Chains A and B, each alone.
Chain A
Amino acid sequence: MHRHTLAELARLLAARQISSLELTRHLLERARSLNPRLNAFITLDEDKTLAQASAADARLARGEGAALTGIPVAHKDIFLADGWRTTCGSHMLENFVAPYDSFVIERFNDAGAVNLGKTNMDEFAMGSSNETSYFGPVRNPWDEARVPGGSSGGSAAAVAARVSPGATGTDTGGSIRQPAALTGICGLKPTYGVCSRWGMIAFASSLDQAGPLARSAEDCALLLNVMAGHDARDSTSVARPPEDYRRELAKPLAGLRVGLPKEYFGDGVAADVARAVQGAIEELQHLGAHMVEISLPNVKLSVPVYYVIAPAEASSNLSRFDGVRYGHRAGDYGDLNDLYCQSRAEGFGAEVKRRILIGTYVLSHGYYDAYYLQALKVRRLIADDHARAFGEVDVILGATAPSTAFRLGDKTDDPVQMYLNDIFTIAAPLAGLPAMSVPCGFGDTGLPVGLHLVGNYFEEARLLNLAHQYQLATDWHRRAPKGFGD
């Protein structure tokens, strides 16, 4: 049953050929048995999950099913789900039981989907390998000695290992797309403002965006149909009429203009990754797309700009974790100041603390203009580069990550090397643009390679169209890691 894509399972459920309860039981069992190896889930709650599955079956029996009714979906442990422990991968929230639902969870609940469990992640979404999680690293199903990418690494691994047909993630600098690439699945970061951030624990508010991870573009479209929507509780949520993200899947690619930024094709890409991307380019040309060489002169500054803006916002967003109203409180403290300093020192891991300190510094007196304000200006230049490019092309294409999955521990001692893993994915959130990673082959060691697509604002349907047409012509997305596809 776990071999089916989400779209296939939805058809089987709608036709009542399988029940949500049997599907959910099967996947829960799979999750339990694989978790000691992959560590993809932080929390599984069988009772809650099965209760939702039963309710979904009842709803289907009444003929009131919606597209995802009865489908189990794994949720990144950054989304609050009422009554579920929600940790954000942190000791700080190890025992935090969410008292309300996030927008994304509400949407899946309303659709009758089943919460399969809360997936592991880099602590507070800060990381590119899932090694910063307080609950231990997630392992890549393609090679368990390697990282699945991050920060939505648990979601990516759960989908790649055929534990969950689809999962939610969040993306601030690449946290959906990079793990999708490293685990051979699809991941879509929508335009900023498409999915409400209500109830999604904030990392960098002006960049954070929720999105789906699944095996195919079609599955991503189905998940995004549920996740997207205006929400008055999020002032940055965009008020647009609802759309069906599947509506352009079948459109031929003839005449599509695809931009190849020269800055993304150079020595910085590993040869096997470059080869796979080149193969995808040829396939797309074969499908009728035109390749256009373009230039995004300021994207080389994306990483430095990001490592000012994201930590600045994070340093402020994470101030609420002070051990007063919820979350970890140090066992031993003296005065009020000590309560803060000890609780936060104990509750946060090294990478989170590092980013809080960077953010505090760049906002502090005397440094604001040179760092934070300058970063906001260069951010504008990066956005302008993209705006110019979209005057010439419909989609921008490159590799999602500069290399295939690296080994656990390889980059943990060098934050800068870790940060550079997001070099191709960071520009899109800085500009607020939608972007997607699609499996496009394998590297020398048999590890998956991701093709990165960036669209203009609100052109998710076009990205999904390109990806879907590519997936009709290729079978990379159908390949399962050894031992997980049977």
Chain B
Amino acid sequence: MILYCALPDKRNLATDMNLTLADVQKIAHLARISVTPAQTEEVRIKLTGIFALIAQMQAVDTRGVEPMAHAQDVSLSLRDDRVTESDQREKFQKIAPQVENGLYLVPKVIE
């Protein structure tokens, strides 16, 4: 194994690296994934380990470096404004969990 990668430099660990159970519950809610109280601690331990790995890149001086969000330096190509799609509702709704009168059904939405 490559040890220099496996062992994060402790000096660079950010102070928030120790996720709390509340942090786990908060992000689980944002991600809409139910994490039972029994699972929370195990998730917290695993995530903390991963964030210790991630912490290595945080010490790098990146002042003046242009962020790289795309793998290729290209600009967006554009589509002509034409209608190219036809109605495929029947096909698409065949794989839907619950539909009625062409509508997808969900528990009552509260605005």
**Chain A residues close to B by CB (< 8 Å):** 95-97, 99, 191-193, 206-207, 232, 235-236, 238-239, 266-269, 298, 300-301, 303-305, 307-308, 315, 319, 322-327, 329, 333-342, 344-345, 348, 353-354, 356-358, 360-362, 364, 367, 370-371, 373-381, 383, 402-403, 414-417, 419-420, 423, 429-432, 457
Contact = CB atoms under 8 A, between A and B. Distances in A.
Given A341-B33, A380-B67, A415 B97 contact: no
Contact of B33 (A267, A345, A370): A345
Nearest to B4: A300
B50 A307 contact: yes
Interface string B39-83: 000010011011111111110101001111111101011010000
Contacts of B3: 267-268
Contact of B106 (A97, A191, A324, A420): A324
A336 B98 CA distance: 13
B34 A358 contact: no
A127 to B, nearest CB: 14
B54 A371 contact: yes
B91 to A, nearest CB: 5
Given A236-B74, A345-B33, A416-B53, A402 B107 contact: no
Contacts of B94: 97, 99
Nearest to B6: A420
B51 to A, nearest CB: 8
Contacts of A192: 71-72
Contacts, number: 198
Contact of A376 (B16, B23, B69): B69
B107 A301 contact: no
B47 A354 contact: yes
Contacts of A333: 107
B88 to A, nearest CB: 7
A378 B12 CA distance: 16
Given A97-B95, A301-B60, 16 more contacts: A206-B69, A206-B70, A267-B2, A298-B60, A304-B55, A329-B97, A341-B29, A341-B33, A345-B34, A357-B33, A357-B47, A358-B54, A361-B27, A362-B54, A373-B67, A415-B49
Contacts of B92: 99, 325
A324 B51 CA distance: 32
A359 to B, nearest CB: 8
Contact of B6 (A206, A353, A403, A416): A416
A86 B95 CA distance: 12
A342 B34 contact: yes
